[in-house]
Amino acid sequence: MEQGIAEAELAVAATILARDLINEPASVATPEHLVEHARRIAKENKGVRLAVFDRAEAERRGMNAFLAVAAGASAEPYFIHLSYRPANAKRKIALVGKGVTFDSGGLQIKPGESMATMKCDMSGAAAVLGLFSVVSRLAPRAEVHGIIAATENMPGRHAYKPGDVARAMDGTSIEIGHTDAEGRVTLADSLAYAAKLKPDMIVDLATLTGSCMSALGEEIAGMMTNNPRLGERLRAASGESGEKIWELPLPTEYAASVKSDIADLKNVSSTRYGGAITAGLFLQHFVKDIPWAHLDIAGPAYAERETIPYVPKGGAGFGARTLLQLLKKI
């Protein structure tokens, strides 16, 4: 009984922090604000360490895909790496959260009604920060890394443009087909960085595509994975957490749609269909053969109305509890 109560308290704490971060206005929840929370987490949680890369350091490391998205924003971008390395670690897991603190769409700007809730485009990052706020109390037998590329996507005078080519830190060149498909461009560097850590598995969470919402609605996240065993683990964690996920395929036949004539990849598909899947195939390129799962949380990340009793209107903190359950079983 006591153990169950203690685990519930961790789930509540992680979820509330994630919700609070999402619900803050974008004028407050800037990339620097996420860094401040990461610093607080590292200070208050034994065994948690933090590395933060500013624009100059990110450039030195070749994170030019991430920096391309950041180019139009006045708010400074930051690349955040939290880590927890217990002595008894049996596995290494990297958790990657999309950290676009406001998404205007960039030069290909969103219509007003589509922009209204775009402060929630850092919901993946919020889930990772929520998990790390309790990781030392959870004490998993795993080395855990939390990775967030934090930036705004804005149409400033230096903004990246359709037709630009950005190069990720692993050398992959990316043609920019649309500036509002920025999340996968920032994730390219996040996933490439995660892969360099040589983890046993990578899980990313991102409010990535409206296509996933069209397929699964507002309460279910789409899961794509290159590893059936990891998919089973996440389905089990989802069942324990109450956060619903549904697996979508990654058919190799669709991969050609994100190829470019002038670069290695293009950040939008050449077809209008299957957008959640083609985004997943784009991301898969950066993890190589490492077991990986992508959670497209565009639907359940933000509740525009209350449909689930325990999810109030606003930021849902989706993913924090599933990550907690995943780490419990490792």
Of these residues, 19, 184, 233, 321, which one is catalytic? 184
Residue 4 in contact with residue 310, Cβ under 8 Å? no
Residue keyed to tokens 């697996």: 247
Whether residue 184 lies in the annotated active site: yes
110 tagged catalytic: yes
Collapsing DSSP to helix, strand or coil, 103 comes out as strand
Using the structure block, give the residue that is written with the tokens 């009793």.
Answer: 309
In whole angstroms, what is the distance from residue 118 CA to residue 264 CA?
29
DSSP assignments along 34-56, one per residue: HHHHHHHHHHHSTTEEEEEE-HH
User: Which helix (H) or strand (E) element contains residue 21?
Assistant: helix 2-23
Residue 268 has a CB neighbour count (10 Å cut-off) of 22
Task: Say which of 61, 91, 110, 235 is annotated catalytic.
Answer: 110
Q: Cα 315 from chain centroid?
A: 15
- Which of these, 208, 199, 180, lies nearest to 107 by C-alpha position? 180
> Which residues are the active-site residues?
110, 184
